[in-house]
Amino acid sequence: MNFTSPIVIAEIMCLIGAVIFLRNDKSIFWKLNIAYLLLALLTEAAGSYMSSKRENNLWLFNSFVFFEISFIFIGIWHCLKNYLIPKPIIYVGLGIVYSIYFGFIAKDSIMVFNSTAVTVMSVVFSLYCLYYYYLLLNDEKFIEIKYHSEFWWITGVLFYYFGGTVCNLLSDVFDVRFGKSLTLRYAITIALNFILYSVWTYSYLCRAKQQKLQS
Amino acid sequence: MQSETTKIAILVVLATLIFLLMPVFLIMYIRSYNRHKKNHILEKQHMQQQFEAEMLQARIEVQDNTMQAIATELHDNVGQLLSLTTLTLNSINLDHSDKATVKIENSLSLVNKSIKELRELAKLLHGEQIVENGLGNALQQEINWLEKTGSYELQVSNQLHNLQENSPDKDLIILRLLQEIINNIIKHANATSISFNAYYEDKKLYLNVEENGVGFNYEKAKANKAGLGLSSISKRIEMINGKLALNSIPNKGTNILIEIPYP
């Protein structure tokens, strides 16, 4: 049985970081990070296992995308609410991404990888992250970004989704293999996952510091 | 075919790297912008602190000026009146009832005059509250005290009595500016005639003081910061974003025009 993969390792490390730094956090969003990472870890581990058994695991990843969309939007909501009332713009983004997600599933079934929804989702998340930066720069208040948990959480999201845009857009035109099972797309995904989870772990550390200072 | 695939792989890797570098540059830009913002905020706080310190200084100086005026008034006016009353009362001889009646009436008149002077002084004692009754009134009160000395021929045009706008902090600084200008005229100008013109136009307050004193070399006085309190006047005008136009001709007099955005 093969449950492990580099992505699983990255997720375990991030989950451990999240549990250590966020276990006493009172904010629902930060607590939700632990639940999300656990879900991501279980999905990835189950996906690896199914892959090793040569079973189709795309339905599993497609289902996970549903939670991924919700969680990232909750995070963006949490970060944007410091600068504006995010309800309208979040609902617009959520509406667009979910429409494409369900539209694709209705058209091609859940057993085919929902690449269109993932590509659109990546572009939408990147735009929201850039909008967050714009609001942060325009804000009159000064924040120490070096230790600002929300900033680093958003930065992790931007790295992952913006960095993955090329892969998402060109996934259909290239299929480069480095060995028996390692494709270029998978190698880039591993790298992006390591960046995402490293930056998120740092944001949890910042959050813990912030909480410690406030208590 | 193999080289075509390698080319695509290199292209994808490079494009991904570029896409990853963009957030890095973005973070660097935000960091740099944020540092500038921090410096700007600190500078603003510093300026605010300076402004508050200056306000405190102006408040203390206004109080000081008021106390000096009260001390002078008590010594030169009320004190003299009461001494004269004592002398008059001491000189009363009850055997000469007619003369005694006149002296008692004179003493009563002197006491009444003293009471009137003390009432005037009580108004001054309000010090800081002066500006609360409006800048026009505060300026008028300063001019009235100058008029009481009887040493100057005054022409006054004060159009600020019914000013609808107000700005307590600026009012205090403007009052202090006028006090400083009057002090300078008394101490250094040797003038016989002074004209005051205060008016409000297009969201700007103008204060024009002109005297026919000995005049001075403005450039020299500016260089000598300790002298004449000129640097203090310039600094305060600058602090409230005002402008100072000073024109002085030796032996002819000085004209000071202050323009302040108001409120």
The predicted pLDDT at position B125 comes to 65
When CB atoms are compared, the residue of B5, B9, B30 closest to A133 is B30
Q: Look up residue B179 and give its two tokens.
A: 């006090």
Residue of A nearest to B24 (CA): A159
When CB atoms are compared, the residue of B23, B27, B34 closest to A162 is B23
The predicted pLDDT at position A180 comes to 66
Residues paired with B193 in a beta bridge: B153
Provide the CATH number for the domain around residue B211.
3.30.565.10
The predicted pLDDT at position A22 comes to 94
Domain-ending residue, one of B98, B125, B152: B125
CA distance B167 to A92: 46
User: Which of the pair, B261 or B263, is modelled with greater confidence?
Assistant: B261
- Residues ≥6 apart with Cβ < 8 Å to A96: A120, A124
Q: What share of chain A in percent tops pLDDT 90?
A: 66
SS3 A180: coil
The full 3-state SS of chain B, as one line of letters, equals CHHHHHHHHHHHHHHHHHHHHHHHHHHHHHHHHHHHHHHHHHHHHHHHHHHHHHHHHHHHHHHHHHHHHHHHHHHHHHHHHHHHHHHHHHCCCCCCHHHHHHHHHHHHHHHHHHHHHHHHHHHHHCHHHHHHHCHHHHHHHHHHHHHHHCCCEEEEEECCCCCCCCCHHHHHHHHHHHHHHHHHHHHHHCCCEEEEEEEEECCEEEEEEEECCCCCCHHHHHHCCCCCCHHHHHHHHHHCCCEEEEEEECCCEEEEEEEEECC
Question: pLDDT tens digits, residue range A182-192?
Answer: 788 888 889 99
Is the pLDDT reported for residue A140 higher than 60? yes
φ and ψ at B197, to 5 degrees?
-140, 115
Residues B102 and B148 in one domain: no
The predicted pLDDT at position B137 comes to 84
- Helix ranges (DSSP H) in A53-183: 58-80, 87-108, 115-138, 149-163, 165-170
- pLDDT confidence of A197, banded at 50, 70, 90? very high
CA distance A155 to A146: 12
Average pLDDT over residues A40-47: 92
Q: What share of chain B in percent tops pLDDT 90?
A: 16
Residues B96 and B195 in one domain: no
Residues B93 and B187 in one domain: no
Domain-ending residue, one of B101, B125, B149: B125
The predicted pLDDT at position B128 comes to 53
Edge-to-edge order in the sheet of strand B204-211 = B153-158, B193-201, B204-211, B253-261, B243-249
Residues B8 and B54 in one domain: yes
User: Which of the pair, A209 or B67, is modelled with greater confidence?
Assistant: A209
Residues B65 and B190 in one domain: no
CB contact under 8 A, B9 and A174: yes
Mutation target to probe the B interface, by most B beta carbons within 10 A, among A146, A151, A173, A174 is A174
Residues B120 and B143 in one domain: no
Is the pLDDT reported for residue B91 higher than 70? yes
- pLDDT confidence of B77, banded at 50, 70, 90? confident
When CB atoms are compared, the residue of B6, B8, B16 closest to A167 is B16
Compute the mean pLDDT over every residue in chain B, rounded to the nearest whole number. 84
CB contact at 8 A, B115 and B122: no
CA distance B66 to B87: 30
Average pLDDT over residues B154-162: 87
Residues B66 and B149 in one domain: no
Question: pLDDT tens digits, residue range B209-237?
Answer: 999 988 888 777 777 655 557 777 888 88
Q: Domain residues for B31?
A: 1-125
CB < 8 Å to A136, chain B:
30
Lookup result for tokens 């008394």: B186
User: Which of the pair, B81 or A72, is modelled with greater confidence?
Assistant: A72
Residues B10 and B83 in one domain: yes
Average pLDDT over residues A128-138: 94
Residues B198 and B243 in one domain: yes
Average pLDDT over residues A4-31: 92
CB contact at 8 A, B239 and B173: yes
The predicted pLDDT at position B129 comes to 61
CB contact under 8 A, A159 and B41: no
Residues B89 and B213 in one domain: no
CB contact under 8 A, B12 and A145: no
Is the pLDDT reported for residue A57 higher than 80? yes
Q: In terms of Cα–Cα distance, which of A23, A16, A31, A42 is closest to A74?
A: A31
* Alpha carbon of B241: minimum distance to chain A alpha carbons (Å): 23
Residue extents of the structural domains in chain A: 58-214
Is the pLDDT reported for residue A20 higher than 90? yes
CB contact under 8 A, A162 and B12: no
Average pLDDT over residues A8-12: 93
* Alpha carbon of B39: minimum distance to chain A alpha carbons (Å): 10
- pLDDT confidence of A79, banded at 50, 70, 90? very high
Residue of A nearest to B9 (CA): A176
The predicted pLDDT at position A173 comes to 66
The predicted pLDDT at position A85 comes to 93
CB contact at 8 A, A11 and A44: yes
Mutation target to probe the A interface, by most A beta carbons within 10 A, among B11, B13, B41 is B13
When CB atoms are compared, the residue of B26, B38, B41 closest to A133 is B26
Residues B3 and B121 in one domain: yes
CA distance B65 to B124: 10
* Reported ipTM: 0.85
Residues B113 and B148 in one domain: no
Is the pLDDT reported for residue B118 higher than 80? yes
The predicted pLDDT at position A71 comes to 96
CB < 8 Å to B32, chain A:
none
Domain-ending residue, one of B125, B155, B179: B125
Question: pLDDT tens digits, residue range A147-182?
Answer: 999 999 999 999 999 988 888 887 766 666 666 667
- pLDDT confidence of B256, banded at 50, 70, 90? very high
